[in-house]
Amino acid sequence: AGLTGHARTTLLAVAADMPAPEALTRLNAMLRVRTSSERFLTVAYLRLFPHPTTGTATLTVCLAGHPQPLLLGPDGSVTPLGRPGSLLGVLDTVELFEQAVELGPGSTVLLYTDGVTEAKGAEGEFGEERLAQTLSGLAGRSAEEVVAEVERVVLDFRTGGADDLALLAVRLVPDRVP
């Protein structure tokens, strides 16, 4: 929690007008100086730019060792977002990529920790495919409903020990800007 808080504060201080890969590269350099290589971070750095006149938005995604967020379309399609990049705090040089995606009304973006996909049940791991299938059936639901239902399905599936389980959904509401 302390490392995450330090990272959040650092990004707020240095990243306002900086491209995400550059901001995360700076954060990595600070982590390398201040922590041991056994302490690392995964980061999903997203920025949302609403277009009020069209009801759409541009989302930029930069991943540093974090699972790819999933885009749930209004039609139930599920698409992974972003390109995987290096963990932060481990290597002196990191590879990071930024992707821009256009979101239409009714689109939902789900971010999650690996505790979701790595949840252990009688059938093995919950996995990315099961997560995508679960998410696909939630098109048109509110962000709160998406998070609650994914959490319920994962907890019902899970039989083993508990890993971190964090979910965040953002939905572009039709006829309104988020």
Tens place of pLDDT for every residue, the chain, 178 residues?
667 777 877 787 776 678 999 999 999 998 888 766 677 899 999 999 999 889 899 999 999 999 999 999 999 999 999 999 999 999 999 999 999 999 999 999 999 999 999 999 999 999 999 999 999 999 999 999 999 999 999 999 999 777 789 999 999 987 644 4
User: Which residue from 32, 6, 14 is spatially nearest to 87, judged by alpha carbons?
Assistant: 32
> What's the rounded Cα separation, in Å, for the pair 145 and 90?
36
Q: What angle do CA 129, 133, 135 make, to 5 degrees?
A: 115
Residue 86: per-residue pLDDT: 96
Instruction: Report the predicted TM-score, pTM, of the whole model to 2 decimal places.
Output: 0.90
Residue 94, classed as helix, strand or coil, is coil
Residue 83, classed as helix, strand or coil, is coil
Residue 43: per-residue pLDDT: 94
Instruction: Please list the residues that pair with 125 across neighbouring strands.
Output: 120
